[in-house]
Structure 1
Amino acid sequence: MNIGRRGALGAMGMLAMPGLAQAQAAFPDQPIRMIVPFAAGGPADIIARVVARAMSERLGKPIVVEARAGAGGLIGVDVASKSRPDGHTLVMASSGAIVIIPHMRSNMPYDPLRDLTPVTQVLAVPQIVSVAPNLAVRNLAELVAMAKAKPGELTFGSAGIGSSLHMAGELLKLRAGIDITHIPYGGAAPAVTDLLAGRIQILAADVPALIGQVRAGALRALAVTAQERLAILPDVPTAIEAGVPNMISETWYGLFGPAAIPQDRVDILVNAARASLQDAEVRRVLGEQGGRIVGSTPAEFNTFIRETNATWGDVVRTTGARLE
């Protein structure tokens, strides 16, 4: 009798298992949090919000964008890296917090190559190399010649030590073989203001920070740090075309989660993200950032991260730039 009862209970359990398995497999089963490690209203926030909306439509769950700004993006990325690895927390990180700042600090709160799951690279935004209106150079070759004739006298601005703008300037120094002096600011906007006023001579800033001034004729664009010319600035050569070899620098943005997210959940997130990047409104908004829409696979993104990590590590070591 007991055996029969146990068998009946076992049979009932077997009948219940398919439903249980489906419930356990449902993902996402709650709203997803997408952390933006910068202040609201900036490029990362704009990118995250438009991608979150499109991904939410495809996943059938809300995606809540949460700003956790500070320390050049480290705070927000650190929060994501220490979140539960169930796929319900993502971060729209930028290149600085992943492949630049880790080389400049010995007390990193996370290991970007170990503590994060790459989902997809979203966008890559090159810099425009521009000069002050009162600087008598017409192209990048003339700027390099002037810098070589006046070592250490010309200054270049950035959005702060360790920012991608800082690294673009350091890369220009290395690739062109020139000595120019770094002047860090608390963001791109004050650097642009001082460039317009002639208080600094050079600024390599992300396209959105300079495109308006360049189009208005207030600033002279000498080159872009992309592999190819930009459709929105077709008459501006690449730095490579202008005579500076291997001068490629981009601020890129990508989606990450904490390490150890189950692969089936990563696949769902990747598919939703990549499909979202084909959305017309998403492409319009991202296109306004002046960058290249990517949508890589996790494997492609991981390879790209490791390659750029090695590149910027070499630049940091060569220049000796530190945040401590």
Structure 2
Amino acid sequence: MTSCGRLLAGLLLLLAPITASAQDYPAKPIRLIVPFPAGGPNDIIARVVGQKMSELFKQTIIVDNRGGQGGVLGTDAVAKAAPDGYTIAITSVGALAISPSMEKVAYDTLKDLAPVTLVATVPEMLVVAGNVPAKNMSELVALAKAQPGKLNFASTGPGGLPHLAGELFRLTAKIDIVHVPYRGAAPAMNDLLGQQVQMTFLDLPVILPQIKAGALRPIALGGRVRAPTAPDVPTTAEVGMPDLIIENWYGMVAPAATPPAIIAKLNRIATEAMADAAVKEKLAEQGLTMAPDTPEHFRDFIAADIKKWAKVIKDAGVVTAK
């Protein structure tokens, strides 16, 4: 055998275990990390999609809730896991695209994690309290410009999506509104209903019951298209603010060095799971839209969102912990 032949044979021997492992995958249970406590939207998505993936794989998928630091701790656990496809996560925009610009995290999203697929999106809705006289976006902007520094917007905490949504609104509309942070959606909603604050951006499913009850007035939806559950509410693009796209999203990731063949298999099975009618119906009830994607496009999607929110953080002068 020539030296070239011996080299080729050696390479084939090295590649054989990888090929075999990809063909046999999964040969044991998969751990699906959810970086939030049980019961929230991230957990619901993971359990619904994970159950269908388990059926398709004919292998157990164990949901492992690893809450803490807004999703950062659980996401970091995936980044540090063995890159063999047996530890994956469904995590959120906060942990993947916002937190790395807001605080010191132990992972680099695009270097330490392998995107598998975007899973689901949910638009943020801009609403105002019942005592705010504005009925639409133009009236709200006019009101804010007439009373600089007088209108407040509530958030679920510094650096969260509702906070940065309010900052992007302030920058886009060139208005002076004041951020009032709360420790979660429930207290923010309570003070909005009590008319202690004037407006907020929150996930559509969270505020839809209060809109239907007439307690809050919708101004615009941060999604790219109108929501079937709120068809009369215009999108931000329709009211003249096409750059004010505010969507919460959830995606599946694996450790960075996971073999491409395993990433491809995870993507295929996840995509099949998301196409299932029962899965789509269950998650539509939560106001979520399935958004299956390729690993390559999902990587570009994450990179674009990292760049977008980093610019908002910088331009708005948001104080970071880095």
Alignment TM-score, normalising by the size of structure 1: 0.91
The 3-state SS of whatever aligns with 1:204 is strand
The match for 2:30 is: 32
Residue 258 (1) aligns with residue 239 (2): no
Instruction: State the aligned residue count.
Output: 306
The answer on whether the counterparts of 2:22 and 2:262 sit within 8 Å (CA) in structure 1 is no
Query: Which of 181, 185, 203 is matched with 1:184 structurally?
Result: 181
Distance 2:127 2:36 in 1: 25
Matches within 5 A, 1:163-174: 163-174=160-171
Matches within 5 A, 1:85-104: 85-104=83-102
Residue 313 (1) aligns with residue 310 (2): yes
Q: Indicate the structure (1 or 2) with the bigger Cα radius of gyration.
A: 1
Distance 1:152 1:110 in 2: 37
Residue identity opposite 1:87 in structure 2: G
Residue identity opposite 2:252 in structure 1: L
- CA-atom RMSD, angstroms? 1.7
Distance 1:23 1:302 in 2: 24
Residue 294 (1) aligns with residue 291 (2): yes
Where does structure 2 lack aligned partners over 5 or more consecutive residues? 1-15
The 3-state SS of whatever aligns with 2:275 is coil
CA displacement, residues 249-287 of structure 1 (integer Å, 9 cap, x when unaligned): 111000001111011111111111000001111101221
The answer on whether the counterparts of 2:18 and 2:259 sit within 8 Å (CA) in structure 1 is no
CA offset at residue 290 of structure 1?
Answer: 2.0
Distance 1:253 1:21 in 2: 30
Query: Which of 102, 119, 122 is matched with 2:119 structurally?
Result: 122
Distance 1:19 1:238 in 2: 51
The answer on whether the counterparts of 1:239 and 1:245 sit within 8 Å (CA) in structure 2 is yes
CA offset at residue 24 of structure 1?
Answer: 7.8
Residue identity opposite 2:96 in structure 1: I
Query: Which of 200, 206, 210 is matched with 1:203 structurally?
Result: 200
**Structure 1 residues 78 and 20: CA distance shift in structure 2, 3 A:** closer
CA offset at residue 22 of structure 1?
Answer: 5.1
Distance 1:288 1:153 in 2: 37
The answer on whether the counterparts of 1:175 and 1:245 sit within 8 Å (CA) in structure 2 is no
CA displacement, residues 120-179 of structure 1 (integer Å, 9 cap, x when unaligned): 001111111000111111111111111111111111111111111111111111111111
Distance 1:33 1:20 in 2: 20
Where does structure 1 lack aligned partners over 5 or more consecutive residues? 1-17
